[in-house]
Amino acid sequence: MILKRGGTLNPRWIMKKKSTAARFNGLFLFSYAAGAIGTTQTIPYLVSMGFEGVQKGIILSGMAISTLVTQFLFGYLSDKFKGCRWFFLISFGIFFVGDVVLFGFRWPQFWYLLAMISLTGGIARTWQGLEDTWVLQIDETKPVYSRIHAWGAFGWAIGSWAAAILLNWLDFPVIAVLVFFSSGAALYFAWNQEDAKRASGKVVKLADLKELVKNKAYILLVLILLVLFGMGTADMYIVVDKVMAIGGTSFHVGAKWGLQSLMEIPILLVGDKLMKKYDPANLMLGASVLFGVRFIVYSLIQNPWWMIAAAVFQMVTFPIIIISSKLMIDEIISEKLKSSGQMAAMSVYMGISLLVMPVFCSSLSEAIGCDPALLVVAAFALVAIVLILIFKKVRGPLKKGMQK
């Protein structure tokens, strides 16, 4: 019981909420640090082995297949067995071992790198999605989801900077060492955390997923996120290619990612209040406009240090998109499909963007140059803006309690 007689808060419930949130804080901190350490250095790692252009794009696109399959599979299994904890532990364990092997044992063979980066990159998106869903399905932590996610941003910043700084003196096997220790800490918090509370009832079957396809608001939201995450994927590739092309190094790339993560923290700390005060769709609309402006600014910069400085745009773009999308998906799908709805959406908008954008970005940059390519990506924001306006009409008024 949350309330005692007389309407006062139960102290035991308050302590449980704090301890549950604290474990999630630790989990997000160390898991995102582990994710950042390898992810932010994947392109410099490939470049150091001589992989450039379309060949590099094909290797990175391999992550899409893994993302599509594992996110859909783990989301469905999470709903079927009514829990997130074990599926997070399995997916994170695969990522942990894969990243340690990838960076710990250097082997510049195309097919090996395609397989390993596909596995680790795709499964990383899967455990991140399960982590978010896990928080949203526990009553004590759902109201503070944004603040918990801020610990993930902080962890990403620490991991990015640690990798960038150490690579100035050491070689890439140091990445494996960093991933090993940060992943071990993350697994400790995950192992000791309670599982999501799912209502008992009818077992979810594959046929039940048709409900998602028939939900027009859900489909529109997935399309919006596909466009916006396509832009986010371009930030991982065209922007990094430009940093390297104008004289940047792996340090500049790591510093860019680190600063971007730090810029997310202020918004994430107040994100829960923002989402209650304003329509999440309106917040996503504003973030989409600024996302387009961000890529225009990228195209005008010709100094790697200014590319790092432009990361301040992250504060008012991606964290708003992430938090608003999670809450809007949670609002428009049924209780029995909470995990499947989140993970199926992620498998589409992350998977397709990871499949298409690396090769698209590499080919576009080679054909017309980085700066014109960045302007093409900026135009994607116009598509997202139009789709958000349509989504608002289809969705209708916000449910009571979603906005105060």
User: 0.85 cut: is pTM over it?
Assistant: no
Three-state SS for the chain is CCECHHHCECHHHHHHHHHHHHHHHHHHHHHHHHHHHHHCCHHHHHHHCCCCHHHHHHHHHHHHHHHHHHHHHHHHHHHHCCCCHHHHHHHHHHHHHHHHHHHHCCCCCHHHHHHHHHHHHHHHHHHHHHHHHHHHCCCCCHHHHHHHHHHHHHHHHHHHHHHHHHCCCCCCHHHHHHHHHHHHHHHHHHHCCCCCCCCCCCCCCHHHHHHHHCCHHHHHHHHHHHHHHHHHHHHHHHHHHHHHHCCCCHHHHHHHHHHHHHHHHHHHHHHHHHHHHCCHHHHHHHHHHHHHHHHHHHHHCCCHHHHHHHHHHHHHCHHHHHHHHHHHHHHHCCHHHHHHHHHHHHHHHHHHHHHHHHHHHHHHHHHHCHHHHHHHHHCHHHHHHHHHHHHHHHHCCCCECCEC
Residue 202's pLDDT band (cuts 50, 70, 90): low
**Percent of all residues in the chain with a pLDDT value above 90, rounded to a whole number:** 25
* pLDDT score at 341: 77
The 10s digit of each residue's pLDDT in 104-162 is 888 888 889 888 988 898 899 889 988 988 888 887 888 888 889 889 988 988 998 88
CB atoms within 10 A of CB 389: 11
* pLDDT score at 3: 44
Q: Give the Cα separation of 134 and 42 in Å (integer).
A: 28
* pLDDT score at 18: 65
* pLDDT score at 323: 86
* pLDDT score at 13: 45
If one compares 202 and 4, the residue with the highest pLDDT of the two is 202
* pLDDT score at 1: 38
* pLDDT score at 203: 53
Q: Give the Cα separation of 238 and 20 in Å (integer).
A: 39
Burial per residue of 149-188, b for 16 or more beta-carbon CB atoms within 10 angstroms, e otherwise: bbbbbbbbbbbbbbbbebbeeeebebbbebbbebbebbbe
Which among 250, 304, 233 has a CA at the least distance from the CA of 57? 233
* pLDDT score at 204: 56
If one compares 12 and 377, the residue with the highest pLDDT of the two is 377
CA dihedral 47, 52, 54, 55 (to 10 degrees): -70
Is residue 358 within 8 A of residue 94, CB to CB? The reply is no
The 10s digit of each residue's pLDDT in 84-108 is 889 999 999 999 999 999 998 888 8
Structure tokens at 382: 């116009």
* pLDDT score at 5: 42
* pLDDT score at 136: 83
If one compares 340 and 39, the residue with the highest pLDDT of the two is 39
The 10s digit of each residue's pLDDT in 280-328 is 889 999 999 999 999 999 999 888 888 888 888 888 888 899 888 888 8
Residue 4's pLDDT band (cuts 50, 70, 90): very low
Residue 404's pLDDT band (cuts 50, 70, 90): very low
Q: Give the Cα separation of 66 and 245 in Å (integer).
A: 29
* pLDDT score at 50: 82
pLDDT of 26 > 60? The answer is yes
CA separation, residue 305 to residues 44, 251, 252, 300, 308 (Å): 17, 11, 7, 13, 5
Domains, the chain, in order of start with CATH, read 16-197+205-395 (1.20.1250.20)
Q: Which stretch, 32-46, 88-102, 141-155, 241-255, has highest mean pLDDT?
A: 88-102
